[in-house]
Amino acid sequence: MQLPLKPLSGNNMKYLKLALISAAIFGLLFFAMSLLFPSQVVVSRAVDISKGSNDIYKKLKDIKGWKGWISELNNSAVMQITDTSLRTASTSILITAISQDKVISLWTNSTGSEQESTMRVITAPSQPNTTTVQWQFVEQISWYKPWEKFSSLVSDQILGTMMEQDLNNLKKVSEGN
């Protein structure tokens, strides 16, 4: 048995129009506010390591050695690894450039979102046995994806915390602790 549909009464039609107009205005405000946020997000962390820069640089330029200090990679989820790339179930990493003091790589997640990672080795002449490793991720966010811009507000806390842990792991591995 099928129930007959009743036409909307005048009062119900007003509430429906009000709800639709309110949703449209809220959506436009949400989009307009997202345009105020930057389209590039940079998350950066650094750590001082009591070791010479050559020893540290060797650990950074060898992607196979990243499994020893990057927590996302030190489990059995690494499926494929070459001299310049590796792939896990959720992330693909490709080293795109290696220079004397930095390693640049491209991290692509399973949804296709890309982040450029730069690891720099910084030495100060006044401290010959101390090396600073600065690691940063840069992500470009499309202007037409406001939900990504709003989610970028917490990326510093989420990604930054993981980066700090990984840099501390690098420090422990490098200093032999």
The burial of 138, by beta-carbon neighbours within 10 Å (0-12 exposed, 13-18 middle, 19 or more buried), is given as middle
Whose structure tokens read 């196979």? 64
Domains of the chain, CATH where assigned: 38-175 (3.30.530.20)
Residue-by-residue pLDDT tens, the chain, 177 positions:
566 666 666 677 788 888 899 999 988 888 887 777 777 888 999 999 998 888 888 889 888 888 889 888 876 677 778 888 998 888 899 999 999 889 999 999 888 889 999 999 998 877 778 899 999 999 888 777 777 777 777 778 888 899 999 999 999 998 885
Instruction: Tell me what percent of the chain is helix, strand and coil, each rounded to the nearest 5.
Output: 40, 30, 30
Give the closest residue to 108 by CA, choosing from 75, 129, 86: 86
Taking the model in full, what pTM does it have? 0.77
